[in-house]
C-alpha cells in the first residue's frame, strides 16, 4: 500500500485488522484513504496560499464595534447558505 502511496489506507489497515467482516474493512479503508487525501489536499492548498496569519472560527471577535454578525459567520462556517 505504501508503494502505491496509499498512506491513509495503510494506517487504517494496520489499526483495523480485527474488523468483523471484509466488507466493513474495505469500506473503512476506502473512507480512510479518501479522508487522508482530502486532508493532505487542504494542507497543500493552505501552504500554497501562504496566508499571513492562522485564523480559526472559534477565535473570531464578535465585539459590537467590529460589526461582525455572529449568525452570518455561523451560517458561513456550516455552509448553510448553499442549501
pTM of the model: 0.56
Is the pLDDT at 77 greater than 90? The verdict is no
Q: Count CB atoms within 10 A of the CB of residue 1.
A: 15
**Can you give the pLDDT at residue 69?**
87
pLDDT tens digits, 28-72: 889 989 999 999 999 999 999 999 988 888 888 888 888 888 888
Distance between CA 37 and CA 8 in Å, rounded?
7
* Residue 52 three-state SS: coil
Determine the structural domain holding residue 10 and report its residue range: 2-78
Does the residue 36 lie in any domain?
yes
Does the residue 67 lie in any domain?
yes
Is the pLDDT at 23 greater than 80? The verdict is yes
Which residue has better confidence, 10 or 31? 31
Distance between CA 17 and CA 5 in Å, rounded?
20
- How many domains does one find in the chain? 1
Does the residue 83 lie in any domain?
no
* 37 close to 8: Cβ distance less than 8 angstroms: yes
Amino acid at each position: 500500500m505504501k508503494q502505491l502511496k496509499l498512506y491513509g489506507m495503510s494506517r487504517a489497515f494496520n489499526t483495523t485488522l480485527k474488523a468483523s467482516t471484509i466488507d466493513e474493512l474495505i469500506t473503512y479503508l476506502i473512507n480512510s484513504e479518501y479522508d487522508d487525501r482530502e486532508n493532505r489536499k487542504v494542507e497543500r492548498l493552505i501552504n500554497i496560499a501562504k496566508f499571513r496569519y492562522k485564523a480559526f472560527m472559534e477565535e473570531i471577535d464578535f465585539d459590537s464595534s467590529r460589526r461582525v454578525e455572529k449568525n452570518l459567520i455561523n451560517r458561513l462556517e456550516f455552509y448553510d447558505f448553499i442549501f
